[in-house]
């Protein structure tokens, strides 16, 4: 992305998102860039995915649903009723249609940034983790431990975030999307298999 185009994108996001969401977005872009440096991922893509990951967050639920339906995406019953879940799928549609993103990896990083999915790419993991650890976050438990872990072993950080998110959802009584559960089980198994050879 050209420098002018990026400046333009940031200016648009500043208008589209609320003040707090915009600050969060800038922090995620910065954190994602740092993780990309750490793991040798594409810096440019990580920054752009960070900038766009919550681009649909401030739309109302109905608009999110319409965007997904028009794009032919199937929605789980939980997704349909929850902006917390739907904004990531709707965001990937908006990133393509409004912001002209065509890179499938970048679109997937936006699409799966809330629930994760089994077999995530490095970019997908970077956005998922950056969203959780960016410096403006302070409410989740184990944040300082996870922040350090993120730059040492991104898979371990991913698993810890998934675990803590499930615990959090259970304590608040929020419904767990099957994808969040599936992602956790996939990475738990992967971690246990690898641990045998450590």
Burial of 114 (0-12, 13-18, 19+ CB in 10 A): buried
Nearest to 106 by CA among 181, 34, 36: 36
User: Considering CB distances under 5 to 8 angstroms, the limit depending on partner class, which of ligand DGI, Fe ion, none binds residue 174?
Assistant: ligand DGI
| Closer residue to Fe ion (CB): 53 or 160 | 53
Is position 92 an interface residue for ligand DGI (rule: CB under 6 A)? no
Candidate segments 64-72, 98-106, 145-153, 169-177, binder of ligand DGI by CB under 6 A? 169-177
Interaction residues for Fe ion, span 107-136 (CB under 5 A): 131
The footprint of Fe ion on residues 134-193 (CB under 5 A) is none
Residue count at the site for ligand DGI (CB under 6 A)?
Answer: 18
Closest CB 169 distance from ligand DGI, rounded Å = 5
Q: How far apart are CA 25 and CA 5, in angstroms?
A: 17
CA distance 74 to 54: 20
C-beta of 25: minimal distance to Fe ion in Å? 7
* Contact string (CB under 6 A) for ligand DGI, positions 127-146, x = contact: ----x---------------
**Residue 120 and residue 162: Cα distance in Å, rounded?**
13
- 115 interacts with ligand DGI by CB under 6 A: yes
Using CA atoms, how far apart are residues 35 and 26, in angstroms rounded to an integer? 14
Q: Which helix (H) or strand (E) holds 43?
A: helix 43-52
Can you say whether residue 30 is alpha, beta or left, with left for phi > 0 and alpha for psi between -120 and 50 degrees? alpha
Contact 163, 145 (CB under 8 A): no
The yes or no reply on residue 16 touching Fe ion (CB under 5 A) is no
- State the minimum distance, in angstroms, from the CB of residue 81 to ligand DGI: 9
- Asked if 54 interacts with Fe ion (CB under 5 A), we say yes
Site membership for ligand DGI, residue 113 (CB under 6 A): yes
Q: Does 82 bind ligand DGI (CB under 6 A)?
A: yes
d(CA 24, CA 55): 11
Interface positions with ligand DGI (CB under 6 A)? 24, 54, 57, 82, 84-85, 88, 113-115, 131, 165, 169, 174-177, 180
């Amino acid at each position: 992305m050209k420098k002018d185009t990026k400046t333009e994108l940031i200016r648009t996001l500043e208008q589209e998102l609320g003040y707090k969401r915009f600050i969060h977005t800038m922090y995620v872009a910065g954190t994602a860039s740092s993780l990309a440096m750490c793991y040798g991922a594409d810096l440019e893509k990580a920054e752009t995915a960070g900038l766009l990951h919550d681009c649909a967050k401030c739309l109302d639920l109905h608009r999110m649903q319409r965007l997904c339906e028009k794009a032919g995406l199937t929605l789980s019953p939980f997704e349909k009723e929850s902006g917390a879940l739907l904004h990531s799928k709707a965001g990937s549609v908006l990133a393509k249609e409004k912001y002209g993103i065509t890179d499938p990896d970048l679109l997937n990083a936006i699409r799966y940034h809330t629930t994760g999915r089994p077999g995530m790419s490095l970019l997908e993991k970077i956005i998922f983790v950056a969203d959780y650890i960016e410096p403006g976050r302070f409410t989740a438990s184990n944040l300082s431990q996870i922040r350090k872990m993120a730059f040492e072993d991104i898979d371990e950080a991913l698993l810890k975030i998934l675990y803590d998110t499930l615990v959090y959802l259970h304590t608040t009584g929020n419904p767990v999307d099957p994808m969040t559960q599936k992602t956790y089980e996939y990475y738990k198994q992967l971690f246990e298999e690898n641990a045998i050879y450590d």
